[in-house]
Amino acid sequence: MASDDQIDLFSLGDMAVGSAPAQPVDPELIPTDVKIPIPPGTYSNMEEIKAHCDRCHRCELGATRTHAVVYRGNVKAPIMIVGEGPGENEDLQGLPFVGKSGQLLDKILESVQLTEADVLIANIVKCRPPENRTPTPAEMDACRPYLLEQIRMVDPKIILLTGAIAMRNLLGIKQGITKVRGEWVEKAGRLYMPIFHPAYLLRNQSREKGSPKWLMWQDIQTVKAKLDELKG
């Protein structure tokens, strides 16, 4: 099956929450060949995805990983945060956003009283690209079914997309992150918001009005207000 066909199969617009294949699929029997798709509803819990990712070779990244980095947080969280891919610390620990970027992300969430119970954090690709390079389109295509299964299972009210790669991968938006960050995008019954990646904030330390950190503070307050509104 061509890559485009695989993407069509896992189109967010066509994905029904809670959908499942007619007959259960045993993850042990799923080929790691990227040309063979993973049907929506394949996995019943996050640990099954993690177990499969740990032995996945749907792309070349599987050959160089220490650990697959699948998720951290609450598997029934109202907010899902999606990053680009694991870095060195994440690869070593098998958890996303645990380096300096992750520490800053945790502080940002804590600033509006959001805890790990409120979020599940994942990445577009589950294995670290060598030298922390940007994942290739083929690598992102190969890993996309895992992320879509995570979204299906968590069923979050809000999905925050950290950085341009996550934004383009899930929303198809090709504009720069600075032009669309902080804007709500509704798709397939969910609310998405592109936000600055914490690594970008670490490179831009100013807190003056209009700076990336100042804008991030506005955005995370908007997110908390929307979550409170949705909870009613």
Task: Express as a percent the part of the chain with pLDDT over 70.
Answer: 86
pLDDT of residue 35: 74
Give the global pTM.
0.86
Residue 61 sits in a domain of what CATH number? 3.40.470.10
Structurally, the chain folds into a number of domains equal to 1
pLDDT of residue 186: 96
Other Cβ atoms less than 10 A from the Cβ of 45: the count is 10
pLDDT of residue 28: 59
Strands 185-187 and 72-73: unpaired
Nearest-10 Cα torsion for 59, 65, 69, 70: 30
Task: Supply the range of the domain harboring residue 153.
Answer: 3-231
How does pLDDT run across 177-209, given as a tens digit for each residue?
999 999 999 999 999 999 999 999 999 999 999
Q: How confident is the model at residue 22 (pLDDT cuts 50, 70, 90)?
A: very low
Q: Residue ranges of the alpha helices (H) in 43-192?
A: 46-53, 88-93, 100-110, 137-154, 164-171, 177-180
Whether the predicted pLDDT of 15 surpasses 90: no
